[in-house]
A and B are shown apart, each in its own frame.
Chain A
Amino acid sequence: MKEIGVIDYGSGNFGSVWNALSKLDVKLHKVSSSEQLLNCSHIVLPGVGAYSAAMSQLNKMGIVEALSEEVLKKGKPFLGICVGMQILSKKGFEHGEHEGLGWIDSEVHKLDVAEYPLPHIGWNSIVNGLEASPLTKNFDQDASFYFVHSYFMKIKDSACVIAESVYSQRFTSIVSKNNIHGVQFHPEKSQFYGLKLLENFTELKC
């Protein structure tokens, strides 16, 4: 049985992510300390809210070092959702300049949308890359996902950009680097394809 750790760091969508994952045939662990990470085969970092708030919550929990150990050294599959994806970057520019986990060479900036309203809210599609990721293999080209965000990840190494979406500008909607994955949208709110993506994640091998 796959042991999925969901990090509970006060993010607003912890419950939704938990509810969605509990529909799959996996064992769930609520992770609120470093030790609890050890038992997990896969790690999910949910996220709603601001970049700096998410980082400072993780730092306050004292979990960052253990997380790096499990993901970077041991190579456990990791999935960051929304802000949980964005803090994989080196720096974020939401309300000032803040340091992230730095696992992926990138920065987080505000979407440049001119006359379009922010946040970008609603169902949007993936313009390319649906076939490239093990998370979305065999997905219908019409698959769409639920987005709520105002910032996006600007990635230096284009090999890590797996899939992109468009809202006034083009932006990365799925990022992957080895065992580290991030999605800008909310799979836990994206019905069939969202649940399928989560299922595909839980089937990744360490």
Chain B
Amino acid sequence: MLKKRIIPVVLLRNGAIVQSRLFKRFQVLGVPSAVVKRLSSWACDELIYLDISPGGSYSFGREDLNYPELSGISDVIELVSKSCLMPLTFGGGIRNIEDIRFRLSLGVDKITLNTAAVENPSLISEASKLFGSQCVVVSVDAKKNTDGRYCILKGGKELQDKCPVKWAQEVEALGAGEILLNSVDRDGTASGFDLELIEQVASNVKIPVIAIGGAGEWSHFEEVLLQTKASAVAAANIFQHSENSVYNLKKYLFDKGFNVRKPLKLSHLSSNL
């Protein structure tokens, strides 16, 4: 039986892995390779790697500690894909077919489009025809506007007059393989997922919906699996601050009988990983 997926999201900002709150504040958590190796050894089902660098270099700025200076995004991707024996989704700064081709050639399995999908929806259909719909994830940032209706955001900031459900159906028709649905109002708040938003979108498309935004405790993941049709639940911050976080969440869900992969502490089974 196909399992529900638990997916850590890693945010990269100029060479450092960061934590985000309401898309505004960023706190540094560590270097890209160490964070990925740690998550991978805790047996997560996939990894989503988002580059939110506003521009500039990819240096961690601590060459004195033997962290190599990375010359560009290709160095980061190569580093990550070598230590990642699981599906890897990469997003951020992707504007055209060449950007996609380049990332796939470096070992990425899926790419995610956000701003470029809103600005140029035909990129979705073009990409899914060329590389297959399985590798095209469209990331939808949703936020309530002043009168309480859900709208989508462009570029993390600009509110658009478009309902996330309608937009999700459009990207599905254009050939997107999955939707990464982010509640901007819940981002980094640890107050729980926006179940209403998730259910509205997930029950109106056939493709898998990955819900993100608001995880603060393990029971929040349980709520998504119980109350919505989401195929996967993702989170960033909550997985970064405790030892064996992914394993502990998996165990919590598996022991309650949820259809998730049996938790394994890979580091105990094999030194190769």
Contact = CB atoms under 8 A, between A and B. Distances in A.
B162 interface: no
Interface stretch (B48-56, B116-124, B186-194, B258-266): B258-266
Nearest to A193: B264
Interface bin, chain A = 20 to 34
Contacts of A194: 85
Contacts of A125: 1, 3
Contacts of B104: 12
B264 A192 contact: yes
B269 A117 contact: no
B166 interface: no
A190 B85 contact: yes
A192 B134 contact: no
B175 interface: no
B248 interface: no
Given A121-B208, A122-B231, A125-B1, A144 B85 contact: no
A-side binding surface: helix, strand, loop or mixed? mixed
Contacts of B264: 191-192
B5 A123 contact: yes
A22 to B, nearest CB: 9
Interface in A145-180: 146, 148, 166-167
Contact of B85 (A15, A124, A191): A191
Contact of A195 (B5, B87, B272): B272
A110 interface: no
A20 interface: yes
Nearest to B263: A142
A98 interface: no
Given A119-B177, A148-B134, A195-B270, A189 B2 contact: no
Interface in A1-56: 12, 15-16, 19-20, 23-24, 48-49
B251 to A, nearest CB: 13
B234 to A, nearest CB: 14
A205 to B, nearest CB: 22
B19 interface: no
A65 interface: no
A189 B86 contact: yes
A129 B109 CA distance: 28
Interface of A: 12, 15-16, 19-20, 23-24, 48-49, 115, 117, 119-125, 140, 142, 144, 146, 148, 166-167, 188-192, 194-196
